[in-house]
Amino acid sequence: MATLFHGKGTDYHPRVPLVDKVLSDRLQALGYRTKRYGDDCVFASTSRDQASDYARDEDHLFVAEPLEGAKVMMVVGCKDMIMKFESWLREKSIWGHRDGSARSRFISDVQGDIGTVETYLSLNRMKNVVSGLADEFLAEFEVREIVVGPDTDLAVFIGDNEGEVVVNGPIKLEPAPPAPAMAI
């Protein structure tokens, strides 16, 4: 069984729920059922260190075990989808083609700042452009999704991928064991 970790109890940055919703909607348009928002959405990680960044302290770090019926999704090679999308947008702003279109003006204005993208979406502006950019971004990755069954082996599903795993549905959270002591 692959170990997944979940941290909670701290503010995190960037907080961009509307960007997460657009990415989720675009994934659903591609046929995936796992959502990146909502009450039953739990972000976990194959990396204890990454999950620790979202935990107030060690008491708020959990081992996450998706239970039968849970939908589990990950994007291969994408440790953190929001941060990767922000980097991707930044690259587009530096190296992208400028043709005067709404898309290129948006990329130029945003300059890779995911908070600015969130602001546009909060003002109900440029959602079609952001959706199109999300489609381009997602086309560069392999997305994996499963529904946990009685014989599901998450270690096989995850393979050697590191980073974010999104879980919708039943999940068991147990306090994480103490981190192993570092040899000096």
**54-91: per-residue pLDDT in tens?**
999 999 999 999 999 999 999 999 999 999 999 999 99
The per-residue pLDDT for 182 is 67
* 153-179 per-position pLDDT tens digit: 999 999 999 999 999 999 999 999 988
Confidence of residue 183 (pLDDT cuts 50, 70, 90): low
Q: Alpha helix locations (H) across 68-173?
A: 81-95, 102-110, 114-122, 127-138, 154-158
d(Cα 92, Cα 111) in Å, to the nearest integer? 8
Chain-centre distance of CA 41, in angstroms?
Answer: 11
Mean pLDDT of 34-50: 94
* In the predicted structure, residue 39 carries a pLDDT above the cut 70: yes
Q: Which two tokens stand for residue 51?
A: 């999950």
Q: Give Cβ neighbours of residue 95 (< 8 Å, ≥ 6 apart).
A: none
Q: In 3-state terms, what secondary structure has residue 31?
A: coil
Torsion angle in degrees (nearest 10) through CA of 113, 116, 117, 120: -170
* In the predicted structure, residue 135 carries a pLDDT above the cut 70: yes
d(Cα 157, Cα 164) in Å, to the nearest integer? 13
Q: Do the Cβ atoms of 36 and 21 come closer than 8 Å?
A: yes
Mean pLDDT of 9-31: 91
Q: Do the Cβ atoms of 46 and 72 come closer than 8 Å?
A: no
Q: Do the Cβ atoms of 5 and 48 come closer than 8 Å?
A: yes
